Structure 1
């Protein structure tokens, strides 16, 4: 749980710093993010689930936490998020199973307040 709070704290701190520095690249990234996750042929929920699987493959803990939280906020139940993590495990092979452990910890805090 402490690791998740620390990741969130660092993400928010970096976001604030980049905004205060008026980073044009970061602002463009935020615009791209907004466009990417807007409902279209795929709903935001399914796009977030895709991002969960990709996050496992690239072993990005901050990404996993963010996209699992976003998917849950969009109504994805625990089973759908688990399957997205499992797709990432399969696509990434053995090393992705190690990354998936972190995703399971995030799910635990969201769905079981552990």
Structure 2
């Protein structure tokens, strides 16, 4: 299963260019982002939660590669109880030594 498939997308829709950004496949996309995407999918598909899920890029100047990637999820169960909740910040580096941080960017 590719990363676009995890949350139901196929990377081919009307907004395909707006939903793409430059990052390293490993470790950023697979090791850092994928586990959180899988958790969001589980909250929605298996637990029926309504989840506000956002991935935001923080860029420096005119660089195409983001300096940081902010991942946030805030879910609620169908009866309004708190569900999945997290905030992660991935700091990207040119040398490939990206790292994940808890909390905000």
- TM tier, smaller: under 0.3
The TM-score with structure 2 as length reference comes to 0.27
Comparing both structures, which one devotes a greater share of its residues to helix? 1
Taking CA–CA contacts closer than 8 Å with sequence separation of 6 or more, which of the two structures ends up with the larger relative contact order?
A: 1
The TM-score with structure 1 as length reference comes to 0.26
